[in-house]
Structure 1
Amino acid sequence: MTSIESTVLLPARPSTAGTLDARAVSAWFGDRKVLDRVSLTMPQGQVTALIGPSGCGKSTFLRILNRMHELIPGAALAGEVLLDGTDVYAPERRLTSARRDIGMVFQKPNPFPAMSIYDNVVAGLKLTGIRASRPEKDHLVEECLGKAGLWREVQDRLRQPGGALSGGQQQRLCIARSLAVRPKVLLMDEPCSALDPTSTRRIEQTIRELAETVTIVIVTHNMQQAQRVSDRCAFFLAEQGTPGAIVEHGPTGAMFATPADPRTSDYVNGRFG
């Protein structure tokens, strides 16, 4: 039987950025609780940075937002994740639909190495069941590579393997691939941690440009980066073996200049973590 996804057509325009709303989200790996009742609104068309020491649940929270956590053996969760008011985990909502709306860019660039640059960009269409004509794909490749800041560098070698690109270019190719399915939200898990300073600056520029049309949630351990790219910050902390939780969240400027909690001040000023 043909699935519903196989009949989906490529949208004529990029999706409007969406608002993500996590409500009382808790998470477990087996018997170990790693997040405790985390609530956070990630507003439409803004960049929200998740900051905090390693092991406090930031990446787990990020994976929960697009239903990757449930794929881990022994993982469990409670609470709600709403995208524009609709429950991402509703029984009638297909996993592929959630992944179309909420894309993901990982810490390490993961293009399909033997696949061409062109085919890397459009790979997500097949995976999520979106049909597009060849002219639509050609336009989409140029559009998404352009938004990812890569078009000018690769427009004459689209048929070369994506694995032949530099690390920074590969990461921007992965961003282009995520954009091709017209997501409302783009999640980024330390996207610059493996990159040189020049590539990092280019990715940061791309993030700020993309925020005009896509909501972005980024995990970063780089406090300067959080200040440069984000509109809002959420500070996660797990103390003395307790599950990760949000200490405070708010506009980035206020979080760094006048945080309400002394633990936030200590962290953003490098006194621990």
Structure 2
Amino acid sequence: MTSTTLDPSTVDSPTTAELDARNISAWFGGHKVLDRVSLRMPAGQVTALIGPSGCGKSTFLRILNRMHELVPGAELAGEVLLDGEDLYDPSRRITDARRHVGMVFQKPNPFPAMSIYDNVLAGLKLTAVRASRRTKDDLVEECLRKAGLWHEVQTRLRSPGGALSGGQQQRLCIARSLAVRPRVLLMDEPCSALDPTSTRRIEETIGELSTEVTIVIVTHNMQQAQRVSQHCAFFLAEQGTPGVIVEHGLTSAMFDTPQDRRTADYVHGRFG
């Protein structure tokens, strides 16, 4: 793998990117779980994916940064375009796709024995990016600040990441994702295992980051979807059929004046 050097002059955040999924279908071992799903996720904004469990939201999210293809027996059809460029182009390395489209999972997953400092920089090693010690120091501070964690950990950067609280670990994972300069950040129910105080801090972090990186979040919390997102897509799989998008648009319209009765029933808690 060819290594690259992180240039301190490029420390400013990269340009946010539009993500455009077109006619995405997905299978697991011959079982179809998504059927011709299309969704444009605007640059520099937050798009929330909502819907009952089992309707394909998390599968769709993983397709957006090429994690779906790592599952044995998984297949997919369609296109995922990042500012018009196909993330699944055969000439494009999977590490390149992951660098541009980062992921934060439902359960915080820092490397427990690795220090807070090294956790933030872990992605640089995976993407073969070299940097000077000064550049690394600056990057760690910048990413921890953006993740809302710097003031809590600045005096113990060499302590194990696994010693942090659950909410702190999730913010550490956000900092780790930001260190490789993604243009899109995917979040799969990032607050589902957190207490209300930690959830509020993560939501604040999402709001602060959204002008610098395009965010796509899966959430089952309707209030959270309203608080953090500008755009929303409602997924549904009915009576054993594959998941589809019933309706998508501005979050305010989806909750206040939905066009489909099923959307209105779901966002108002009448099913799901």
TM-score after normalising by structure 2: 0.98
Rounded to whole Å, the distance in 1 between the matches of 2:6 and 2:91 is 20
What amino acid is aligned across from residue 7 of structure 1 in structure 2? Answer: T
Counterpart in 1 of 2:124? 125
Figure out how many residues of one structure are paired with residues of the other and give that number: 270
* Structure 1 segments (4+ residues) deviating >4 Å: none
Residues 123-159 of structure 1 deviation map (CA, whole Å, 9 limit, x = unaligned): 1000111111110000000000000000000000000
Is contact 2:48-2:219 (8 Å) kept?
Answer: yes
Counterpart in 2 of 1:244? 243
Counterpart in 2 of 1:42? 41
Is contact 2:49-2:219 (8 Å) kept?
Answer: yes
Is contact 2:230-2:251 (8 Å) kept?
Answer: yes
Rounded to whole Å, the distance in 2 between the matches of 1:149 and 1:12 is 18
Measured after TM superposition, the shift of residue 113 of structure 1 is 0.3
What amino acid is aligned across from residue 121 of structure 1 in structure 2? Answer: V
1:53-132 equivalences in 2 (<5 Å): 53-132=52-131
Rounded to whole Å, the distance in 2 between the matches of 1:180 and 1:222 is 28
Measured after TM superposition, the shift of residue 14 of structure 1 is 1.6
1:133-152 equivalences in 2 (<5 Å): 133-152=132-151
Residues 27-56 of structure 1 deviation map (CA, whole Å, 9 limit, x = unaligned): 000110000000000000000000000000
SS at match of 2:32: strand
Rounded to whole Å, the distance in 2 between the matches of 1:170 and 1:31 is 36
Whether 2:230 is the aligned partner of 1:231: answer: yes
Counterpart in 2 of 1:9? 6
TM-score after normalising by structure 1: 0.98
SS at match of 2:269: coil
Measured after TM superposition, the shift of residue 100 of structure 1 is 0.3
Rounded to whole Å, the distance in 1 between the matches of 2:152 and 2:238 is 45
SS at match of 1:25: strand
Rounded to whole Å, the distance in 2 between the matches of 1:62 and 1:129 is 25
What amino acid is aligned across from residue 208 of structure 2 in structure 1? Answer: E
Counterpart in 2 of 1:156? 155
Measured after TM superposition, the shift of residue 8 of structure 1 is 4.8
Measured after TM superposition, the shift of residue 7 of structure 1 is 2.5
Gaps of 5+ in 2: none
Residues 55-102 of structure 1 deviation map (CA, whole Å, 9 limit, x = unaligned): 000000000000000000000000000000000000110000000000
Counterpart in 2 of 1:195? 194
SS at match of 2:217: strand
What amino acid is aligned across from residue 193 of structure 1 in structure 2? Answer: S
What amino acid is aligned across from residue 177 of structure 2 in structure 1? Answer: S
Residues 187-238 of structure 1 deviation map (CA, whole Å, 9 limit, x = unaligned): 0000000000000000000000000100000000000000000000000000
Rounded to whole Å, the distance in 2 between the matches of 1:194 and 1:256 is 25
SS at match of 2:266: helix
Measured after TM superposition, the shift of residue 25 of structure 1 is 0.3
1:247-262 equivalences in 2 (<5 Å): 247-262=246-261
What amino acid is aligned across from residue 64 of structure 2 in structure 1? Answer: L
Rounded to whole Å, the distance in 1 between the matches of 2:92 and 2:113 is 33
Counterpart in 1 of 2:32? 33
Rounded to whole Å, the distance in 1 between the matches of 2:11 and 2:230 is 29
Measured after TM superposition, the shift of residue 15 of structure 1 is 1.3
Is contact 2:5-2:131 (8 Å) kept?
Answer: no
Rounded to whole Å, the distance in 2 between the matches of 1:8 and 1:52 is 42
Measured after TM superposition, the shift of residue 9 of structure 1 is 3.0
Rounded to whole Å, the distance in 2 between the matches of 1:9 and 1:202 is 30
Rounded to whole Å, the distance in 2 between the matches of 1:43 and 1:7 is 29
What amino acid is aligned across from residue 215 of structure 1 in structure 2? Answer: T
Rounded to whole Å, the distance in 2 between the matches of 1:253 and 1:61 is 23
What amino acid is aligned across from residue 212 of structure 2 in structure 1? Answer: T
Rounded to whole Å, the distance in 2 between the matches of 1:135 and 1:8 is 13
